[in-house]
Amino acid sequence: MTLPAEWWRGAAIYQIYPRSFADANGDGIGDLPGIAARLGHVASLGVEAVWISPFYASPMADFGYDIADYCAVDPIFGTLEDFDAVIARARDLGLKIIVDQVYAHTSDQHAWFVESRQSRENPRADWYVWADPKEDGTPPNNWQSIFGGPAWRWDARRGQYYMHNFLAEQPQLNCHNPNVQDALLGVAKFWLDRGVSGFRIDALNHSMHDPLLRDNPPAPEDGKVRTRPYDFQIQRYNQSHPDILAFIERLQALIASYPDTYSLAEVGGLHGGATMKAFTLGPARLNSAYGFDFLYAENLTPARVAAAQEFWPDEQGMGWPSWAFENHDAPRAVSRWCAPEHRDAFARMKAMLLLSLRGNPIVFQGEELGLEQDEVPFELLQDPEAIANWPLTLSRDGVRTPLPWKAQDEHGGFTGGNPWLPLSEANLARAIDRQEADPASLLHLTRHLIHLRREDAALRRGTCEVLLVDETRLVLRRAAEGRSVLAVFNIGERDAAWPQEVPTTGKVLATVNEGAPGSLPAWAAIWIEEGAKALNGEDA
């Protein structure tokens, strides 16, 4: 089949969390001028797009995912003119900018909600999900908030409950309402007109609920520790309503009317896979989606990787997946998936694995440095979820600590002030300037691998066939345009036998942890071009 030439298909994407990327004004919080000043680092990696997490006007109850004005920049991040400067700088560097859109909820300080809660008759009365109490005054049903407690908050002005899947400060938009959809499409158009190349859409499967407000059924016992009431239910009725698909088609029609754009949905939940496929099925829907195959996984196994790849076959009409091993919500992968003494070797193998998958690899800021999860003491926690569930969670604050630019600077060159979150000595030691000076660093490896992938049709957008999967070994075949590359991995801390399925002849494109044709040491990985004359390869 002829492979499409869309720029985004297989492109590597770098995620910037603005609060923690670079602080230009010394207030301890990252900002848009800091992003513009430091985009050169991102461009040097070879990625083609940058996803910037929310920078919109917000009271920051959930650090920007509670939006008070979709079309304004919060003063802590700068101004709309500062955003325009980011777009201009990205264009100069050959980067495309995609931004977060949050369509499931707003802040309770958004003008829409302020009006909606005033009465049951005002023009925006049904822009949010309101419901009467039961006869005994309790909430309308048993739905639970992800952040803990019932998904309903009483409002005396209306004499009703409003729904919130997340914080009570994040009231649920009623996206069943065509007027709400029109308003959200207007927001998307505002940013497209401003020069963005598309959107990462937050919690999209949470954007519509069951209008009948039926109770969720209980979740079966799975032996895991449950820290939230939310975990005791199957989220059948408070998310993933079928009507979301029609809204997606309206949204994608708008996005696609602008040239060279890209749309990416975040989809969570127990049945996220099926929802992702539905959201990306055919050209009328979104370009891509990612879920939580890896983000909260307790371990990394060949079987987990193989299952994720085989779930997205290269078939007509099938959507295009995206993959992330860590992000602003999920703890650093090296802290979840290996012992401390193996982190350096594991990080090299993990980088090669992410870039071997069919789909869009998303690199979270600091992942190219091998940053570990920072331990933030309770008294310094900022994350409301971590505070509510402490100590039974790896807090989101631990992955959100500042990006270290300079190893010898007290705050890693992130800020001239006092950073909003502390940075550990271990991560300071992995600073960008130190790794730039070390040709054998993970930073240089990541840059090398991304550039290799970008120029290789098989690795970038080819088919993916799982040739071998066992306890520690994984072999993938990526193929396109008449050539194929074998990606061979030992996801284990002991040496493994070279797979019989893989010839020891072939051009070595890249290798880590002393992997070589015929030899697969602990945490080794190797890319071999099938059918090509063998060359002596060195560690990438």
Strands, DSSP E only, in 17-170? 49-52, 56-57, 69-73, 96-102, 130-131, 152-155, 160-163
Please name the residues in contact with 114: beta carbons below 8 A apart, sequence gap of 6 or more.
Answer: none
For residue 60, give both structure tokens: 């920051």
Query: What is the C-alpha to C-alpha distance for residues 509 and 529, in angstroms, rounded to an integer?
Result: 7
To 10 degrees, what angle do helices 442-455 and 343-354 make?
A: 10
Strands, DSSP E only, in 275-374? 288-290, 320-324, 360-364
Query: What is the C-alpha to C-alpha distance for residues 450 and 44, in angstroms, rounded to an integer?
Result: 10
Half-sphere exposure of 84 (CA within 13 A, CB side): 8
Q: For residue 164, what pLDDT is reported?
A: 98
Catalytic residue among 202, 329, 383, 385: 202
Query: What is the C-alpha to C-alpha distance for residues 511 and 498, in angstroms, rounded to an integer?
Result: 14
Q: Which residue shows structure tokens 């927001």? A: 187
Is residue 459 within 8 A of residue 451, CB to CB? The reply is no
Q: Which residue shows structure tokens 């008070």? A: 68
Burial class (CB in 10 A: 0-12, 13-18, 19+), 259: exposed
Please name the residues in contact with 102: beta carbons below 8 A apart, sequence gap of 6 or more.
Answer: 54, 65, 67, 201, 202, 203
Sign of CA dihedral 104, 373, 275, 238: negative
Selection from 409, 405, 384 nearest residue 395 by Cα: 384
Is residue 475 within 8 A of residue 517, CB to CB? The reply is no
Selection from 485, 531, 478, 482 nearest residue 509 by Cα: 485
Q: For residue 317, what pLDDT is reported?
A: 85
CATH code: domain 13-104+178-448 is 3.20.20.80
DSSP code, position 389 = H
Is residue 74 within 8 A of residue 57, CB to CB? The reply is yes
Q: For residue 3, what pLDDT is reported?
A: 44
Query: Among this protein's residues, is 266 annotated catalytic?
Result: yes
Name residue 480's beta-bridge partners: 483
pTM value is: 0.95
Q: Which residue shows structure tokens 């009431």? A: 229
Sheet containing strand 463-469, edge to edge, reads 463-469, 473-480, 483-490, 525-529, 507-512
Q: For residue 270, what pLDDT is reported?
A: 66
Mean pLDDT by 10 residues, the chain (540 residues): 73 98 98 98 98 98 96 98 98 98 98 98 98 98 94 97 97 98 98 98 96 96 86 94 97 98 90 90 96 92 97 91 96 96 98 98 98 92 82 82 96 96 96 98 98 97 97 97 96 97 93 97 97 49
Query: Among this protein's residues, is 82 annotated catalytic?
Result: no
Catalytic residue among 266, 293, 329, 383: 266
Q: For residue 224, what pLDDT is reported?
A: 83
Is residue 528 within 8 A of residue 497, CB to CB? The reply is no
Q: Which residue shows structure tokens 């074998």? A: 486
Sign of CA dihedral 61, 64, 65, 66: positive
CB atoms closer than 10 angstroms to residue 153 = 17
Q: For residue 537, what pLDDT is reported?
A: 41
Residue type, 451: H
Half-sphere exposure of 256 (CA within 13 A, CB side): 12
CB atoms closer than 10 angstroms to residue 392 = 10
Q: Quickly name the fold that domain 463-529 has.
A: Immunoglobulin-like (2.60.40)
Please name the residues in contact with 455: beta carbons below 8 A apart, sequence gap of 6 or more.
Answer: none
Q: Where are the domains of the chain?
A: 13-104+178-448, 463-529
